Amino acid sequence: MIPAAFEYVRPTTVDEAVQAVAEGGEDVKVMAGGQSLIPVMRLRLAAPSTVVDLGRVAEMRGVRDEGDVLVIGAMTTHAEVIADPLVAQHARLIAEATETVADRQTRRRGTFGGALAHADPAGDLPAVALALDAEMVVAGPGGRRTVPARDFFVDYLTTTLDEGEVLVEIRVPKLAGQWGVRYEKFNRVAQAWSIVAVAAAVRRENGSIAEARIGLTNMGPTPLRASATEAALAGAGASPDAIAAAARSAAEGTSPSSDLNAQADYREHLAQVLTRRAVTAAAGL
Amino acid sequence: MQLENSFTVPVPVDEAWRVLLDIERIAPCMPGAALDSVTGDDFTGRVKVKLGPINLTYQGKASFVEKDEAAHRAVIDARGKDQRGNGTAAATITAKLLGEGSTTRVDVLTDLNITGRPAQFGRGVMTDVGNKLLGQFADKLAAQLGEGDAQGDAERASVAAGAAATATGVAEEVAQSVEQTPGDNAVAETVRKAGTAAREKAAAASDRLSDTGSGTGSDAAPSPTDTAEIAAVGATDTVSIAAVGAPDAASPASDAAPSGSDTAPVAAVGRAPSAPPSGPTAPPRRPATGAPPRSTPAGPPASTPASTPASTPASTPAVADTVRDRPLADPEPIDLLEVAGSAALTRYAGPATAAAAVLLLVVLAFRRRRR
Ligand SMILES: Cc1cc2nc3c(=O)[nH]c(=O)nc-3n(C[C@H](O)[C@H](O)[C@H](O)COP(=O)(O)OP(=O)(O)OC[C@H]3O[C@@H](n4cnc5c(N)ncnc54)[C@H](O)[C@@H]3O)c2cc1C
């Protein structure tokens, strides 16, 4: 359980970080909170020759308001996200989901950006980023680019981040209008990973549902949107029956895995139930 | 473990046969593979596996052990070692070609044996990774052969890859808890000792039982010697693992356990989706112990009747049962997916130790009084 020897670099700016990654050779790894990386290194499933620790890159930390968009630094820890007043005001869904992540200790170290870059299908934050149509700002040797969440998650533990690229910040559009949100997570033990979870944001207008955005956690190798349910809810009456009917198609187009925690068909069932609950709560019913 | 894949290449069977035997031509199609040398039917090379933060490089040798042109069947024997000493991988790959007019269907059966840490990921992940690699291989090969209409399994494989998530999660939880619960070692040590004692008792009991021969479950009860050995290995291994598992780590066993501490471990086993290995190397489903031999448990709820044998002293079951059931949870390579399930064991390690201590006190007190 002792990691292999590695070089350690601790840059203080994004540019330095990108440069350190470029100079680190083939086996370089970026480290954020280390809550996922260190265990893998300790099991020696990864043995990077160089670890670039982003812990001192101040510009990657914190939340700022840019008008219609909330910008969350990749190195902002889960604990900071939960406590942040801007997040509470404009992106409450993120705070709500982050509260369910791991335990207090892990939340003090683990970061928002790290959780997204790690792209664990059971991770809670990717589905939320997807539901909120967030955008990832990525820095590499060739400069910066912005990737929408729907293109960012490619596969199990895989994102569009190239080797040599660093996730700098996440741009989250503020929800304009009368939105309600809810993160419904199903796990057997408090603080455990999601077996299935549903992130819902619902906009109400004149007693009916004008728009719903639903992100699914752990229903496939990447986070997914429950598009069929979203379509069924658009313009539907904000009634329990309408929501229940729409939630029945929540698992459409998903490809959940079967594992120790749940068989695929059970996950599909969970997706429907949790979607109904999340949308109901988000719609204020 | 066996992996089955098939793909179609857009050329007639004779040409496909020729191409597929041309190692130098097909090796570059294998994702992450590099060929170092080719001598006749033997070749050496490297395969690099990368999955998120996981990074492994296998270096090894392979050779054709069979080339049956008439049946269009080839068998490759490959073995490799992880460069960082993480374990070994050995595979027997049987490829069968079936002409379908202008295309050829290739059925690949891989008998894979992985040891060391990667094996901890359990079958789910390995299957997914295997399928994915082969799917990519097929796509590249088809592209190389002309039109790109190979129907590799890539899509299906990538779709199935989710299972691994849990494994990583577990890896983290396990690794974390090692750090966070320094006291575990002492517990593990105690439990291990208790385990040894219980095992000896169990072995003796099973001796007795198989002597009396109790009709029904005789095939579920392996011979006493076997049991003792397996239990010995299993007990040590698993108990220490249990100590590693975080008490609060995902433990599906917990709510499946209907009655008391001794049931949970079995429930955990019954739930493992990557069914406990069967075949020659698999340990018996249920080592014979102090309990009367039962037929193999059908499922989690049925697996552990709450009543325990009269053949053991009344207060021992807590210890004996907990320890006895553990070997079931983990056949030799530790499967992280199963460790997740048996994390609940940790919770019972404490009570079990406590029960052992209480028992000891009672026995001592009793003896004193008699003296
Ligand atoms: C016990 C435990 C329980 C947990 N439970 C949950 C849970 O219930 N739900 C959940 O969602 N998560 C859970 N997690 C994971 C937690 O959220 C981690 O914090 C997160 O997955 C990784 O964040 P990190 O900052 O620690 O990243 P690290 O571990 O440092 O990095 C993870 C990966 O992302 C890469 N990376 C990190 N930051 C960047 C960046 N800025 N740019 C490019 N690449 C980057 C790293 O190279 C590495 O490959 C749990 C973790 C633990 C230890």
Query: ipTM score of the complex?
Result: 0.70
Give the distance (Å) from ligand 1 centre to CA of residue A6: 20
CA of A107 to the centre of ligand 1 (A): 10
Does residue A158 sit in the same domain as residue A253?
no
Residue A33 covered by a domain = yes
Looking at the structure, do residues A64 and A128 belong to the same domain, yes or no? yes
Q: Are the CB atoms for B135 and B157 separated by under 8 Å?
A: yes
Rounded to whole angstroms, how far apart are CA atoms A73 and A87?
A: 12
- Number of domains chain A contains: 3
> Can you tell me which residue has the tokens 């027997």?
B92
Cα–Cα–Cα angle for B254, B258, B262, rounded to 5 degrees: 75
* Residue A245 falls inside a structural domain: yes
Total Cβ atoms within 10 A of residue B298: 9
β-bridge pairing B2-9 and A224-225: unpaired
Question: What residues of chain B lie within 8 A of the CB of A35, using their CB?
Answer: 172, 176
- Are A11 and A20 in contact by the 8 Å Cβ rule? The answer is yes
What does A102-149 look like in DSSP terms, one character per residue?
S-HHHHHH-BHHHHHHHT-TT-SHHHHHHHTT-EEEEEETTEEEEEEH
Element (H, E) at A83: helix A78-83
Rounded Cα distance between B327 and B287, Å, is 8
How far is the C-alpha of A264 from the C-alpha of A270, rounded, in Å?
Answer: 10
So what's the pLDDT on residue B87?
77
Q: How far apart are CA A63 and CA B155, in angstroms?
A: 38
| A144 and A196 assigned to the same domain | no
The enclosing H or E element of B370 equals helix B344-370
Distance from CA of A112 to the nearest CA of B (A): 17
Residues paired with A71 in a beta bridge: A64, A171
Residue A1 lies in a domain: no
Q: Distance, in angstroms, between B117 CA and closest chain A CA? A: 7
- Ligand 1 centroid to Cα of residue A84, in Å, is 19
Q: Are residues A139 and A65 in the same domain?
A: yes
Which uninterrupted H or E stretch holds B272? Answer: none
Of the three residues A137, A152, A173, the one that is the final residue of a domain is: A173
B299-317: average pLDDT: 38
CB contact under 8 A, B54 and A45: yes
Query: For B52-101, how does the pLDDT look when each residue is reduced to its tens digit (9 = 90+)?
Result: 777 778 888 989 999 999 999 999 898 888 877 777 888 888 899 999 98
| Phi, psi dihedrals of residue B202, rounded to the nearest 5° | -60, -45
Tell me: the pLDDT tens digits for B150-207?
A: 433 333 333 333 333 333 343 344 333 333 333 333 443 443 344 444 444 444 444 4
pLDDT band for position B370 (cuts 50, 70, 90):
low
Residue A29 bridge partners (DSSP): A51
Residue A11 lies in a domain: yes
B162 vs A44, A121, A188: nearest CB: A121
Whether residue A71 has pLDDT greater than 90: yes
A149 shares a domain with A201: no
A115 shares its domain with A148 = yes
Question: By three-state DSSP, how is residue B167 classified?
Answer: helix
pLDDT at B20: 85
Residue with token string 């239990």: B231
How would residue B259 be classed by pLDDT, with cut points 50, 70 and 90?
Answer: very low
Separation CA B83–CA B77 (nearest Å): 19
CA distance to partner chain B, nearest, from residue A106 (Å)? 9
Q: What are the b/e assignments for B133-147, b being 16+ CB within 10 Å? A: bbbbbbbbbbeebee
Q: Last residue of some domain: A142, A173, A204? A: A173
Radius of gyration for the alpha carbons in chain A, expressed in angstroms and rounded: 19
CATH of the domain at A135: 3.30.465.10
* A84 compared with B209, residue with greater pLDDT: A84
Residue A282 has pLDDT above 80, yes or no: yes
Q: Which of A81, A118, A125, A222 to mutate to test the pocket of ligand 1 (most atoms within 8 A of CB)?
A: A118
B131 within 8 A of A221, measured Cβ to Cβ: no
Identify whether A2 is part of a domain: no
Q: How many other CB atoms are found less than 10 A from the CB of residue A173?
A: 14
For B287, the token pair is: 């080592």
Q: What CATH number does the domain containing A21 carry?
A: 3.30.43.10
Burial B175-205 (b: 16+ CB within 10 A, else e): bbbbeebeebeebbebbbebbbebbebbbeb
To which residue do tokens 């992280």 refer?
Answer: B336
A188 & A273 share domain:
yes
Determine the 3-state secondary structure of B217 from DSSP: helix
Is residue B310's pLDDT more than 80?
no
As a whole number, mean pLDDT of residues B3-27 equals: 85
In 3D, which of B185, B181, B199, B210 has the Cα closest to residue B322? B199
A191 and A276, same domain (yes or no): yes
Question: What residue in B sits closest to A122 (Cα-Cα)?
Answer: B165
Q: Is the pLDDT of residue B122 over 50?
A: no
Distance, in Å, from the CA atom of B14 to the CA atom of B11, rounded to the nearest integer, reads 8
> Is B226 in contact with B284 (CB distance < 8 Å)?
yes
Q: Say whether both A52 and A65 belong to one domain.
A: no
What is the C-alpha to C-alpha distance for residues A33 and A40, in angstroms, rounded to an integer?
Answer: 13
Residue of A194, A222, A224, A259 to mutate, testing the B interface (most B Cβ within 10 Å of its Cβ): A259
In angstroms, the separation between the Cα of residue B267 and the nearest Cα of chain A is: 11
CATH of the domain at A185: 3.30.390.50
Number of other CB atoms surrounding residue B149 within 10 Å? 13
Q: Which residue type does A91 have? A: A
- In the block, which residue shows the tokens 């990654």? A21
**A23 in any annotated domain:** yes
Residues A16 and A88 in one domain: no
Residue A261 lies in a domain: yes
| Domain annotation for chain B: domains and CATH numbers | 2-145+291-322 (3.30.530.20), 153-262 (no CATH)
Structure confidence by residue, pLDDT tens digits, A136-192 = 999 999 999 999 999 999 988 889 999 899 999 999 999 988 999 999 999 988 888
Phi-psi category of residue A123: left, alpha or beta, with phi > 0 → left and psi -120 to 50 → alpha = beta
In this structure, are strands A153-155 and A158-159 parallel, antiparallel, or unpaired? antiparallel
- Which 8-state DSSP code applies to residue A4? P
Q: Report chain A residues whose CB lies below 8 A from the CB of B55.
A: 27, 45-48
pLDDT band at A43 (very low <50, low <70, confident <90, very high): confident
For residue B356, pLDDT over 60 is answered with no
- The distance from CA B84 to its chain's CA centroid, rounded to whole angstroms, is 21
Q: Range of A211's domain?
A: 179-282
Distance A117 CA to ligand 1 centre (A): 8
Phi-psi region of A34 (alpha: psi -120 to 50; beta: other; left: phi over 0): left
Residues from chain A contacting residue B344 (CB–CB below 8 Å):
none
At a CB cut-off of 8 Å and minimum separation 6, what does B179 contact? none
**Position with higher pLDDT, B142 vs A58:** A58
- Residue of chain A whose Cα is closest to the Cα of B250: A192
Please indicate, yes or no, whether residues A98 and A190 belong to a single structural domain of this protein: no
Contact between B26 and B134 under an 8 Å Cβ cutoff? The reply is: no
Q: Across B257-333, where does the E strand assignment appear?
A: none
Mean pLDDT, chain B, whole residue set: 55
Last residue of a domain, one of A173, A196, A223: A173
B330-344 pLDDT, tens digit each: 222 322 222 222 222
pLDDT (mean) for A208-230 = 96
Which residues sit opposite A105 in a β-bridge? none
- Using CB atoms, which residue from B250, B272, B337 is nearest to A193? B250
Q: Is residue A272 part of a domain?
A: yes
A214, β-bridge pairs = A200
Say what the pLDDT of residue A14 is: 98
Q: How large is the average pLDDT for residues A204-228?
A: 95
Same domain, A41 and A112: no
